[in-house]
Structure 1
Amino acid sequence: MRNYLDLGQVRVIAGKEFSDRIRNRWVLAVAIIFSLFALAIAYFGSAQQGSVGFKGVDVTIASLVSLVIYLVPLIALILGYDAIVGERERGSMDLLLSMPITRFEILLGKFLGLAAALAVSTALGFGAGLLPISGGVESKDLYHYAGFVLSATLMGMAFLSLSMLVSVVSTDRIRASGVAIGLWFFFVLIFDLLLTGALVLSDGSLGSGVFGALLMLNPADVFRLLNIFSSEQVQNMYGLATVMPDRLTSPAVLGAVMAAWIVVPFLIARWRFR
């Protein structure tokens, strides 16, 4: 067995995963969904205030954040839950492992190919969604929106990494899909409810440092914080600005935490796959 990484093998596996998503129109379908939501929210996000129309990038991002937290993790988890266990059930994993390729190269290639498909669909979808109104947007707002799209992509990769771990440790696709959906429910729906309940039960004794650290345990919350503290206008729409310690609102710190959410589950999956 080789003890070095062959990038050519990784590129082949990644290219196959990406081209498969292109051929089955997965990338196109997700991009269309994202673009329709982005365009609808850009125009109708302020309808509950009695007005419609584009109100600015900050308002649009504030509205999109809640949608992305529900949609992107679900798509990422569905995308990767059968990447390994599916090959194992079909018998093609034995064929792959009989070739001069390591398990790490297989895992890394699959992750990079799926991550590329997710990144392309996210960038194309949210980019095309605001294309009709981009003429009236200043360059600094476009950079702000690009940062939002980048953070959404990183969050998707974090959940994709979790789904790869699920795929490695699961014995069949049915169990893998159940665990993937369970992770979505926990991180997107249950986690914040538990955290809010703990905050209420503590009667305010839960310090801001502890509260902020607990938020770091959820990649969806890290994504939310990245976009909340990117603009004062967005901060005013949320109530976290008064409870989050300054050291945990830095984009560099939050970006490092999100990177850890991408890398750590993948490393655990690599260890388990070996």
Structure 2
Amino acid sequence: MSTLVIAKKDFEDAVRARTLQVMVAFFVGFTTLLFHYHRSRLGEERTFDILFDGIVGMLGVVVPILGMMVGYRAIVGERESGSLKLLLSLPHSRLELMLGKFLGRSAIIVVTMAVGFALVGVQTILFTDLFSLPAFLFAAGEITLFGIIFVAIAMAFSTAMRSSMKASIGALGLTVLFSFIWDFLYGLVHQFVDPIQIDPETGIGSPDPGPNWLFLLKRFNPRHAFYEPSSYSVKEPIPFYLDPWFGWVIVAFWLAVPLGLAYRRFERSDLS
């Protein structure tokens, strides 16, 4: 019960501080610009997937940053202000405090994504004839999950660190890794493991998709948890970790493991 009380208070504090309003306004404006930009670039092949691929690709970079910003001060901010001791003097355990903060911060992301995607959905219906409810709900759910995962990662640093500076550096570092650097490193590993062979006569490369475990390396980035390689790229027999359901295992890992490790440290630390 304490967990829900803390979550509700944390969410209400975000509303009073106008954090939620600012995030919703930013996200609505940003997604609206993305929608009209990609709509204007549609060629002859007009499908919902083509329209939303570009939108989701950009949001896959922006939303993790929003999640990081929402989560990184959740616990460490209370520690620095001295209110952490007061909170834990009430009938709240450290686990309830951490889970309540996580739920409250995640609710901020959920509401922001819901409002933003609802308006994008309305615009898709009004300005195109491409709307697909199942594909729309999948895209919205996928991006929302990304945001919640990065709230969890940021909160893990917030729980484990003693200063906002260290928490922000750690959370921002992982956000940059997953949003900008991971795909580059994946390409380097792919090239090292299975370099492109150039035909000396034509000068044309013949890229090989490489071993199946390379796709797991790509999927382990939470941004690509639901990535499914094309059937011709996967070597038989198809391993279980490339099945669609395994994306949920990766999501569960990034939600549970960072918070679990941070809680172990938080449980044993003093409150100063």
- TM category, shorter: 0.7 to 0.9
Higher helix share: 1
**What's the % identity of the aligned pairs?**
30
> Is contact 1:35–1:130 with CA below 8 Å preserved after alignment?
no
1:216 matched to 2:219: yes
Q: Match of 2:92? A: 101
Give the letter for the 2:161 counterpart.
S
What do you get for the CA RMSD once the two structures are aligned? 2.4
How many residue pairs end up in the alignment? 250
> Is contact 2:73–2:158 with CA below 8 Å preserved after alignment?
yes
Which residues of structure 1 form unaligned runs of 5+?
A: 1-6, 230-239
Q: After superposition, what is the alpha-carbon deviation per residue over 1:212-270, rounded to whole angstroms, capped at 9, x for unaligned?
A: 121232101215x1xxx5xxxxxxxxxx4253565445432212321221122122222
Q: Match of 2:36? A: 43
Residues in 2 aligned to 1:256 and 1:148: alpha-carbon distance in whole angstroms: 18
1:252 matched to 2:251: no
Q: Match of 2:60? A: 69
Q: Match of 1:27? A: 20
1:18 matched to 2:11: yes
Q: Match of 2:263? A: 270
1:243 matched to 2:246: no
> Is contact 1:10–1:106 with CA below 8 Å preserved after alignment?
yes
> Is contact 2:194–2:210 with CA below 8 Å preserved after alignment?
no
Shift of 1:150: 0.7
1:197 matched to 2:200: no
Query: Which stretches of structure 1, 4 residues or longer, exceed 6 Å deviation after superposition?
Result: none
Paired residue for 1:117, among 88, 91, 108?
A: 108
Name whichever of 253-262 and 75-84 sits farther off: 253-262
SS at match of 1:171: coil
Larger Rg: 2
Which residues of structure 2 form unaligned runs of 5+?
A: 196-207, 268-272
> Is contact 1:211–1:244 with CA below 8 Å preserved after alignment?
no
Residues in 1 aligned to 2:34 and 2:164: alpha-carbon distance in whole angstroms: 35
SS at match of 1:251: coil
Normalised to the residue count of structure 1, the TM-score between the two structures is 0.82
Shift of 1:273: 1.4
The change in CA–CA distance for 1:30 and 1:137 in structure 2 (over 3 A counts) is farther
Name whichever of 212-221 and 116-125 sits farther off: 212-221
> Is contact 2:74–2:155 with CA below 8 Å preserved after alignment?
yes
> Is contact 1:85–1:170 with CA below 8 Å preserved after alignment?
yes
> Is contact 2:193–2:210 with CA below 8 Å preserved after alignment?
no
Q: After superposition, what is the alpha-carbon deviation per residue over 1:36-76, rounded to whole angstroms, capped at 9, x for unaligned?
A: 3333333321545679xx94421222011211121011110
RCO higher in 1 or 2 (8 Å CA, sep ≥ 6)?
A: 1
Residues in 2 aligned to 1:244 and 1:39: alpha-carbon distance in whole angstroms: 37
Q: Match of 2:203? A: none
Shift of 1:174: 1.1
Give the letter for the 1:261 counterpart.
W
Q: After superposition, what is the alpha-carbon deviation per residue over 1:14-34, rounded to whole angstroms, capped at 9, x for unaligned?
A: 011111122222222222333
SS at match of 2:245: helix
